[in-house]
Homo-oligomer: A and B are copies of this chain.
Amino acid sequence: MVTSERPAGSDRAGLTDALVQASFMTMAVLSRIGAEHDLSLTSLRVLAILRDRRLKMTDLADYLGLDQSTMTGLVDRAEKRGLLERLRNPTDGRAVDVRISPAGAELAQRLHADVVRSLAPMIDLLPRPEQRRLRTLLERMLTPS
């Protein structure tokens, strides 16, 4: 779970705990950066996802694992702040597309740079070659090739 003690039964438990702990640390950084711009973790994610994509409300909700009604509120608030735009879907009259605005794209870029910069102190606790190894291992775990 969160604590770092390892029940001496399974090998997997140790890696699980390390992964969970690293995740909470990462999320804390993302949360702080979001909060500095009045953005929740979810809004941060929406912005990141829409950086290079235009999606229907439904697809966005599926992507985030949220209900459609939740998406409505999220997009409402982001649109009101000028970060996103709602558009008519050209092929389905019921659907609504969401696209990032120029201001939103600019913010998203700044946020990403901020995340990289904020995680650097943690990452740099590893020497460069180990950083590369860690990245490779994580990517192999994320991409069931």
A residues engaging B (CB < 8 A)?
1-5, 7-16, 18-28, 30-31, 44-45, 47-49, 51-52, 65, 108, 111-112, 115-116, 119-120, 122-126, 128, 130-135, 137-142, 144
Given contacts A21-B142, A23-B22, A28-B65, are A48 and B3 in contact (CB under 8 A)? yes
In angstroms, how far is the closest chain B Cβ from the Cβ of A129? 10
| Chain B, residue nearest A49 (CB) | B2
Prevailing SS type, chain A contact patch: helix
User: CA of A138 to CA of B133 in the docked complex: distance in angstroms?
Assistant: 11
Partner of A26, one of B9, B19, B124: B19
Copies, count? 2
- Find the B residue at minimum CB distance from A44: B1
Complex: A8 Cα to B142 Cα, angstroms: 20
- List, sorted by A's number, 9 A–B pairs whose CB atoms are closer than 8 Å: A1-B111, A1-B115, A3-B51, A15-B123, A16-B116, A16-B119, A19-B138, A126-B137, A134-B137
